[in-house]
Amino acid sequence: MGTAFEPSNGASAETLLDVARFNDEVVGDYNTGTAEKGLPADLDLARSLVPAGTGALRDFSYIAPDIPEFIASNCVGCMECVTECPDTAILGKAIPLESLEKKAAEITDEAERNRLRAMWIETTKYYKVYEKKGEVPALFGIFIDPTKCKGCAECVAACGDHQALKMIRKNPAPPSSIPTPPASPSTASPTIAPWRRPGSPPSRAPFRSSSMIRARASASRSA
């Protein structure tokens, strides 16, 4: 799959961006942790070509050491945390009480059923106001996606005096679940293999700007 450009002069369409390759190699390097050490030079990035929706593929769950904890009893349903989150990692949702009870009735494990119910609270905004009007009230809940949260705590600052969110340390993940960057390109995962244009040299050197090269040369002379 790629992004095609169709010239107005009637020439055949040309694929400008290989989306699958970009997702496997560029986004893949970030998800394995190798990009933080040195992202290889990439022709598409050099031309500022980035596919739409690549953020959905990023996984920050092993990067951020802290994550917001939702304190349901303090929430007023203002949605400020949802609005201020720079990574769309927080979802605010209202659900009618009847719908929640139907869902809970399908869960046979009592502990899991109680856990589900504890995620939702009665707020003035979504429950009491509608109840007073004689309309269907809804319970409200805040949900944090750990794969998108960077632990920036913007949501905690936005929540302010309500204190419905606080940063906590994540539970240590088992060693087998933590991605381990490959030691060298030769040991890279076959699903994220180094890529090169047809006819190009077999290896991709990390990008170095001219200023970096001059700085290294100056340091060598000083030494």
pLDDT band at residue 202, thresholds of 50, 70 and 90?
very low
Q: What's the rounded Cα separation, in Å, for the pair 140 and 115?
A: 15
Helix axes 97-105, 110-118, angle to 10 degrees: 160
Which comes out higher in pLDDT, residue 218 or 55? 55
Q: How far apart are CA 207 and CA 42, in angstroms?
A: 8
Distances (CA, A) of 205 to 40, 53, 165, 187: 6, 27, 44, 16
Q: Which two tokens stand for residue 190?
A: 């076959």
Name the residue with tokens 């349901």. 72
Higher pLDDT, 132 or 6: 132
Q: Fill in the amino acid letter for 74.
A: N
E-assigned strand segments in 38-196: 66-70, 90-96, 138-144, 165-169
**Domains, the chain, with CATH or none:** 2-60+177-222 (no CATH), 66-172 (3.30.70.20)
pLDDT tens for residues 65-118? 899 999 988 999 999 999 999 988 999 999 998 898 898 889 989 899 888 888
pTM over 0.85: no
Separation between Cα atoms, residue 46 and residue 49, nearest integer Å: 8
Distances (CA, A) of 53 to 62, 87, 116: 21, 13, 30
